[in-house]
Amino acid sequence: MSQSPTLLPGATIGIFGGGQLGRLTAMAARTMGYRIHVLDPDPGCPARFVVDQCVEAAWDDAREAARLARGCDVITLEIEQISLASMNAAGSFAPVRPSELMLGIIQDRIEQKNWLARNGFPVGPFRAVRSLDELREAITVLGGKCFCKSATGGYDGRGQGKVGFRNTSESPHSVPHSSQLHRDEWDRATNPDARHSEPQRSAGSESPYLPPSSHESVPHSSRASLRDEWDRTTTITEDELRGAWEALGQGPGIVEQAIELDREISILVARSPRGEVKVYPAAWNHHEDQILAWSVIPAPLPEALAKEARELASSIADTFSLEGILAVELFVTKDGRILVNELAPRPHNSYHASERACVTSQFEQLVRAVCNLPLGSPDVVQPCAIANLLGEVWLQPAEPQTTLPESPRTVPHSSRSDEWDRATTPTAVIPSEREARVEGPPHLPLSGHSSARHSEPQRSEGSESRYLPSSEVATAKPTPRAPHFDRALAVPGVRLHLYEKLRPRKGRKMGHLSAVGSTPEEAVELVLKAKSLL
Ligand SMILES: Nc1ncnc2c1ncn2[C@@H]1O[C@H](COP(=O)(O)OP(=O)(O)O)[C@@H](O)[C@H]1O
Ligand SMILES: [Mg+2]
């Protein structure tokens, strides 16, 4: 048993990062009676409105990190970008959970992939690259269709380029692109007799997690012969190659073979300083354009596969001696293998549904873990799905009835026959155009405790816009519309979770909807139905 004391309510938790994950953690911590201080470069960060103190500082400002820690009993994080120097400086004043050592491995994709492979965890074929020539070599070795990812800083598909997908409408994996579940995918997911009941392993594996060999070393061919091979065989143009090099930031990165995915799942695992471990049931995650679109807990999976995934995640947490929570993103391949995609030592978008699906949410579990309290049960209470609300929901062209200046207005009665549509349509009030302009929430509460120096909080164009295409930055901003939250909220079982981000942008996570159902399928259908009504 560890010597770490238990931090009881009344103690102060510091969080590196005040984005939506920090905000939701802070809300759970406040419910339990903790005080919260966050550090974020943006004075208008989403957590700012719900915390006791917000320190405005850069991720690499070790002096401010130390100042934060001086006023806290424990420090955790919600973003991997925090510098190791800041982690280290904070560690002089309060325990930092997860550790600097663990973050150092995870925050660099090259280190992370090498660590996973070195420790015998299954990963897909990959190569580390540091130059355009190495990128060309890697793509040649890996066989054409690849994801090229910057070593640091990327998220939600940013800092990534794909090659080899040109001239094919084919996505790297067969997930539904529409808002509807594909029947066959669902059937495969839910059928216990499907092929996953006997997960196959590569022949001759000694370790259960023996990784494929192709990342281990470059074939014995020389660089010149690889270049010949490239010239002879590739269908990838030089433009495409350079595009990928730019997308990954023209610096160190990872090239991964595009995996033929059956589906994507994740497992959240919590571990406290006293060594207690809790593993959540798997979430099933559907991405569109490399961003999570929806997710459901529990993932409908054959038991053998679910067990394998949970054991794998638990083993990774143990190997790290995790203190805190860790999300393990997993690929399930078409031939029934599980590969680790990436790790996140913090709350994860795919476990937002745990707030309603599980006895203990991921946010409360993080608080319990870093405070060395007994961990809560991760058991499922009811299936719950979430659908992310990206900036597009606000930026898509307004329907005629929402743009007219008169206020209030009524929505014409819809001909839709579903129960919730009947409930919503007759006399819903739509705000006037002036109210509908989403310059900021109309009733923005400003925290009296906040140390933010800007009187008009705005999320800076810093971290979230680093990978925005220049065309997007340059284009004139359309006037945002007000989504029809009233319609969505009339769908049975649906709740709304907004992060108080002031400016909607393409690809920016502004909030999510959640829905509970009697089955995971019903929960997904309800949440997607609600989203379609926005
Ligand atoms: N090697 C790969 N093969 C197939 N799909 C991939 C691969 N790498 C990434 N993807 C797709 O892109 C998504 C985002 O990639 P990921 O590495 O998780 O980056 P991020 O940090 O942006 O989440 C994944 O969830 C998956 O849908
Ligand atoms: Mg990911």
Identify the pLDDT of residue 232.
64
Max distance between CA atoms of the chain, in angstroms, equals 72
H-type alpha helices, 62-108: 62-70, 84-91, 100-106
Give exposure, 339-375, as e/b (b: 16+ Cβ within 10 Å).
bbbbbbbbbbbbbbbbbbbbebbbbbbbbbbbbbbeb
Shared domain check, 189 and 49: no
269 within some domain: no
Q: Distance (Å, rounded) from C-alpha 490 to C-alpha 421?
A: 8
Shared domain check, 251 and 121: yes
Q: Which of 110, 290, 466 to mutate to test the pocket of ligand 1 (most atoms within 8 A of CB)?
A: 290
Shared domain check, 528 and 404: yes
Under DSSP, the state recorded for 274 is: T
Identify the pLDDT of residue 304.
96
Is the distance from the beta carbon of residue 264 to the nearest atom of ligand 1 less than 6 Å? yes
Is the distance from the beta carbon of residue 290 to the nearest atom of ligand 1 less than 6 Å? yes
472 within some domain: yes
Asked if residue 223 lies in contact with residue 109, where contact means CB atoms within 8 angstroms, the answer is no
Mean pLDDT of 151-175: 72
Kindly report the CATH number assigned to the domain that includes residue 5.
Answer: 3.40.50.20
Mean pLDDT of 521-527: 98
- Summarize pLDDT for 65-77 with one digit per residue, the tens: 999 999 999 999 9
| Ligand 1 atom index nearest CA of 156 | 22
Shared domain check, 492 and 415: yes
Shared domain check, 45 and 168: no
Shared domain check, 511 and 467: yes
Is the distance from the beta carbon of residue 287 to the nearest atom of ligand 1 less than 6 Å? yes
Identify the pLDDT of residue 178.
34
280 within some domain: no
Task: Flag whether pLDDT at 407 surpasses 90.
Answer: no
Is the distance from the beta carbon of residue 122 to the nearest atom of ligand 1 less than 6 Å? no
Residue 253 Cα, ligand 1 centroid: separation in angstroms?
14
Confidence band of 27 (pLDDT split at 50, 70, 90): very high
Is the distance from the beta carbon of residue 342 to the nearest atom of ligand 1 less than 6 Å? yes
Residue 174 Cα, ligand 1 centroid: separation in angstroms?
14
The answer to which of 31-40, 133-142, 210-219 has the lowest mean pLDDT is: 210-219
- Atom 16 in ligand 1: residue holding the nearest Cα: 157
171 within some domain: yes
Residue 255 Cα, ligand 2 centroid: separation in angstroms?
15
| Ligand 1 atom index nearest CA of 285 | 25
| Ligand 1 atom index nearest CA of 124 | 1
Confidence band of 270 (pLDDT split at 50, 70, 90): very high
Identify the pLDDT of residue 230.
63
The answer to which of 23-37, 219-233, 280-294, 357-371 has the lowest mean pLDDT is: 219-233
Task: Flag whether pLDDT at 201 surpasses 60.
Answer: no
Confidence band of 61 (pLDDT split at 50, 70, 90): very high
Q: Distance (Å, rounded) from C-alpha 295 to C-alpha 175?
A: 13
314 within some domain: no
Say if residue 188 is exposed, middle or buried (CB neighbours under 10 Å; 0-12, 13-18, 19+): middle
120 within some domain: yes
| Ligand 1 atom index nearest CA of 261 | 4
Task: Count CB neighbours of 288 within 10 A.
Answer: 17
Identify the pLDDT of residue 144.
78
Confidence band of 224 (pLDDT split at 50, 70, 90): low
Identify the pLDDT of residue 364.
98
Q: Distance (Å, rounded) from C-alpha 87 to C-alpha 74?
A: 12
Q: Which domain holds residue 480?
A: 387-441+455-532
Shared domain check, 143 and 80: no
Of 96, 122, 137, the position where a domain reaches its end is 96
Identify the pLDDT of residue 287.
97
Is the distance from the beta carbon of residue 340 to the nearest atom of ligand 1 less than 6 Å? no
Element of type H or E holding 528: helix 520-532
- Atom 19 in ligand 1: residue holding the nearest Cα: 157
Of 96, 122, 153, the position where a domain reaches its end is 96
Shared domain check, 117 and 2: no
Instruction: With CA atoms as reference, report the closest residue to 35 among 20, 47, 19.
Output: 47
| Ligand 1 atom index nearest CA of 126 | 1
Q: Which of 341, 508, 509 to mutate to test the pocket of ligand 1 (most atoms within 8 A of CB)?
A: 341
Q: Distance (Å, rounded) from C-alpha 53 to C-alpha 72?
A: 11
Mean pLDDT of 182-200: 46
Task: Flag whether pLDDT at 435 surpasses 50.
Answer: no
Cα–chain center distance at 336: 24
Is the distance from the beta carbon of residue 261 to the nearest atom of ligand 1 less than 6 Å? yes
Mean pLDDT of 283-310: 97
Strands 53-56 and 35-40, sheet pairing: parallel
Mean pLDDT of 354-378: 98
Percentage with pLDDT > 90 across the chain? 67
Asked if residue 76 lies in contact with residue 366, where contact means CB atoms within 8 angstroms, the answer is yes
Mean pLDDT of 6-24: 98
Identify the pLDDT of residue 19.
98
| Ligand 1 atom index nearest CA of 287 | 27
Query: Tokens representing 303?
Result: 């038991």
| Ligand 1 atom index nearest CA of 149 | 17
142 within some domain: yes
Task: Count CB neighbours of 92 within 10 A.
Answer: 11
Is the distance from the beta carbon of residue 73 to the nearest atom of ligand 1 less than 6 Å? no
**Overall domain count for the chain:** 3
Is the distance from the beta carbon of residue 314 to the nearest atom of ligand 1 less than 6 Å? no
Shared domain check, 70 and 134: no
Shared domain check, 56 and 22: yes
Identify the pLDDT of residue 502.
87
Mean pLDDT of 162-168: 78
Q: Give me the residues paired with residue 277 across strands.
A: 271
Confidence band of 165 (pLDDT split at 50, 70, 90): confident
Query: Tokens representing 253?
Result: 């990165």
Shared domain check, 77 and 31: yes
Shared domain check, 160 and 45: no
Kindly report the CATH number assigned to the domain that includes residue 190.
Answer: 3.30.1490.20
Residue ranges with strand state E in 79-144: 126-129
Is the distance from the beta carbon of residue 259 to the nearest atom of ligand 1 less than 6 Å? yes
Of 49, 67, 96, the position where a domain reaches its end is 96
Task: Flag whether pLDDT at 386 surpasses 70.
Answer: yes
356 within some domain: no
Task: Flag whether pLDDT at 35 surpasses 90.
Answer: yes
H-type alpha helices, 174-222: 183-190
Q: Distance (Å, rounded) from C-alpha 457 to C-alpha 53?
A: 15
Identify the pLDDT of residue 235.
74
Is the distance from the beta carbon of residue 155 to the nearest atom of ligand 1 less than 6 Å? yes
Query: Average pLDDT of the chain?
Result: 81
Instruction: With CA atoms as reference, report the closest residue to 351 among 111, 106, 78, 118.
Output: 78
- Given the structure tokens 């692109």, which residue do they identify? 177
Rounded to 5 degrees, what are φ and ψ at 170?
A: -65, 130
Query: Tokens representing 491?
Result: 């769908």
- Atom 26 in ligand 1: residue holding the nearest Cα: 290
Mean pLDDT of 3-8: 92
- Atom 11 in ligand 1: residue holding the nearest Cα: 290
| Ligand 1 atom index nearest CA of 257 | 1
Is the distance from the beta carbon of residue 373 to the nearest atom of ligand 1 less than 6 Å? no
Task: Flag whether pLDDT at 518 surpasses 90.
Answer: yes
- Summarize pLDDT for 249-262 with one digit per residue, the tens: 999 999 999 999 99
Q: Distance (Å, rounded) from C-alpha 339 to C-alpha 328?
A: 10
Mean pLDDT of 192-198: 41
